[in-house]
Chain A
Amino acid sequence: MEMKLFLLQRLTAMIMVPFIFVHIGVIIYAVRGGLSAEEILGRTQGNGWWIAFYTLFVISASIHAPIGIRKVLREWAGLSYTTVNLLALALGVLFLVLGLRAVVAVGGLA
């Protein structure tokens, strides 16, 4: 299982590399002159590219982050494999649900 999780984390990392460059660009562009719901939602709602981009981003991050946190909890907090596995799974589900909800909200899919 460790090998599979290792590869899954690296695979999601590779997917996210270009995404993060774009995301940083979006952040820098979006914060200029202040943020407003109208401005953000006007740019994102109903934008198919935005929705596809951030859906894949959320899925990748929801796989990537819990695997990393699992490793840290195992190595630094000394928790058992059973505990870290359950925690990582719970975090993954939490990230995925909250993240996809955010995409639905900001992408105007509701």
Chain B
Amino acid sequence: MIRSVHKHKAYFAFLGHRISGLLLGIFLPIHFYVLGMALEQTDQFDRFLKFSELPGVKVAEWGLVLLLAIHLSFGLRILVIEFVQWPTPGSIRLNWISWGVVFSVIIGAVFLAGVFGS
């Protein structure tokens, strides 16, 4: 059966990759700016790091780690689809999408265990 393209697993991967990329793109300049504080405003940098110890901020960081892992794994699938030979016509590596989600959830769990478990 032919399903609407928007209900297809590959469309979910497309959206996941695009939205995670956009959000990371918004985060990136903030991340760089804060790290740049270490240059002249060491006090402010330290204050920011203390602020980052709040549990709510840690959860936000966890979200960022998840976004990065999702963008990496879905992006890796795109690279493989585009640059590696297709052994069969069905080789759009749909199973890579689920594995990408599993990988990202594991990374997220390891991050949380490191933050709250120690």
Contact = CB atoms under 8 A, between A and B. Distances in A.
Given A37-B42, A65-B24, A98 B83 contact: no
A102 B25 contact: no
Given A24-B68, A69-B22, A13 B46 contact: no
Nearest to B107: A24
B18 A98 contact: no
B56 interface: no
Interface of A: 10, 13-14, 17, 20-21, 23-24, 27-29, 31-37, 40-41, 58, 61, 65-66, 68-69, 72, 91, 94-95, 98-99, 101-102, 104-106, 110
Interface in B34-89: 35-39, 42, 45-46, 49, 52-53, 58, 61, 65, 68-69, 72, 75-76, 79, 82-83
B46 A37 contact: yes
16 contacts: A10-B82, A17-B75, A20-B68, A21-B72, A28-B114, A32-B114, A33-B118, A37-B45, A41-B38, A65-B25, A66-B25, A95-B28, A101-B36, A102-B36, A105-B39, A106-B35
A89 to B, nearest CB: 15
Contact of A68 (B21, B42, B79, B114): B21
Given A24-B72, A29-B114, A102-B35, 12 more contacts: A10-B82, A13-B79, A28-B111, A31-B61, A58-B32, A61-B28, A65-B21, A68-B18, A98-B29, A101-B32, A102-B31, A105-B39
